Amino acid sequence: MSEEAAIGAVIDEMYAMISGPKGPRDWSRQANCFHPDARQIRTSIDADGRATFRSMGLEDYARDTTPFFAANDFFEIEIGRRVDVLGNIAHAWSAYEARAALDDAEPERRGINSIQLFKDPDLGWRIMAMIWDNERTGVAITPF
């Protein structure tokens, strides 16, 4: 398997892990795609219009999102990817659409995950950091 294909499998697993009908997620699957020391960083715009973020470890992310996934159908579908690899590090831009149902005519939101990966000698490619932002007025995904 090529490096890019191995990285793609990790990213595919990440999307599969969080997507599905409302109900619990199998958080043990994080080990298939994230390094144990990984950070996940959600960005947003606060009530004053200022950029802000929340940085989470794996347990923080699971705890933070479990109530949402328990109450909502959620499907995040990758719509574009660009990967650059140098030795044991890689960066992926991964554009996505989020939908409540796979057959929804329009997505609830679109955005980009900026994903940094490390090729661990024991684990293989794993996500070390992932930061994301959603499209909004003045911020649009450009094709890649």
- The enclosing domain of 89 has a CATH number of 3.10.450.50
Nearest partner of 111 among 91, 139, 130, judged by Cα: 139
Q: Is residue 15 part of a domain?
A: yes
Domain span at 9: 3-134
Q: Is residue 139 part of a domain?
A: no
* Separation of alpha carbons 52 and 36, rounded Å: 25
- Cβ neighbours around 93 below 10 Å, total: 15
pLDDT in tens, 45-81: 999 999 999 999 999 999 999 999 999 999 999 999 9
pLDDT in tens, 82-116: 999 999 999 999 999 999 999 999 999 999 999 99
